[in-house]
Structure 1
Amino acid sequence: MNNTVVLATALSVLNGLALAGLLTVWLRNYRAFRTSMTFGLVAFAAVLLVENAVAVYVFFSMNALFAMSPPAETAVLAMRGLQLLALAFLSYVTMQ
């Protein structure tokens, strides 16, 4: 596994940790308020958490998938980084 895929995997793990934190807060809020908005946030976090778990699995089990295309590896790394940035903003707003 090259450095780009290792960094993308690390970002996916960080994304998963951020999503787990958000999911905990939003589940607590859903239990308290029972609104469709909080349910939507719970569903959003759960789906993205599964997506990041699958990404980590793919990075480890199918390394050859990206090995032939450095631009694809760079694009995947950039998308993981952007997702982490978006989750950082969402976490900040949620914790306010």
Structure 2
Amino acid sequence: MVGTLSGALEARKIPASPNKVKAQVQGTIEAPEGVLKITKISCHFELKIPQGKREAAERALSVFERGCPVVQTLQGCIAFHHTWVITED
């Protein structure tokens, strides 16, 4: 997910490295029907972007899942939830 988001940012001329994108990811494990499985993945992104690039960064955050192989593979099986904080340099 971070790689795909970084690519979406770079395509919008927003540097993704070094240390410009951080993610905290948490999986929720439940036992519906008595079998443990991951039911939700929550990801909180922290972005450091140049001044004036907030709109482009928010657009990248809103669409990157379409090109993310992890999300596209697990979509329908696991719920994804994303939050973010954007800091402008």
TM-score by length of 1: 0.27
Instruction: Give the structure with the higher percent strand.
Output: 2
Q: Relative contact order, CA 8 A, sep 6+: which one is greater?
A: 1
Instruction: Give the structure with the higher percent helix.
Output: 1
